[in-house]
Amino acid sequence: MDFSKLDSSEMQQFFSQEQQLAMVNEMVSKLTDACWDKCITGTPGNKFSSSESACLSNCAQRYIEMSVLIMKKFQSMQ
Amino acid sequence: MDSFSSPSPGSSQQMSAQELKNKLQSQLALEYAQQFLETVRGKCFEKCITKPGSSLSGSESSCISRCVDRYIEATGIISKTLFGGSQH
């Protein structure tokens, strides 16, 4: 196979995009996993209760805030 | 833009950039799907098969079905919360 195409700028851009998508996917997967455990405590129903869906949404937001907080704290320790 | 020759069936490879991209994206999509399924299996086994019997009961089966739907929905909620719009 001809590998010389792989370092074209077109392919570089493609790899960069796919890398970003992979990071997005990773983040969503990880958070859904963690927030499911925190928020869906009973047996899954035919739909989420309003408190369950609110919990999931809140969970993701609080995680982001926590990340910022941790970063700030870490930076203040440098 | 480069011009690549398309491979004819059975010829030695000279894949176009677009073909390469398509192939890579298909492979990635498959990997993501496998990973997702792995997670769903784990979660729904936990939620729905609490005391494994000699066969899958009707309530266990419907629990699993609901669980898969809910997990997909949860993924959508998280995705939307983080990135907005409607992702799939």
Residues of A26-51 as b/e, b for ≥16 C-beta within 10 angstroms?
A: ebbbebbbebbeebbeeebeeebeee
Question: Where residue B16 falls among pLDDT bands split at 50, 70, 90?
Answer: confident
Whether A28 and B82 lie within 8 Å, measured CB to CB: yes
Q: Give the per-residue pLDDT at B1.
A: 47
For chain A, domain boundaries: 50-78
As for the ipTM of the complex, it is 0.89
Looking at the complex, report in whole angstroms how far the Cα of residue B54 sits from the nearest Cα belonging to chain A.
21
User: Which residue in A5, A43, A56 is closest to B20 by CB distance?
Assistant: A5
pTM score over 0.90: no
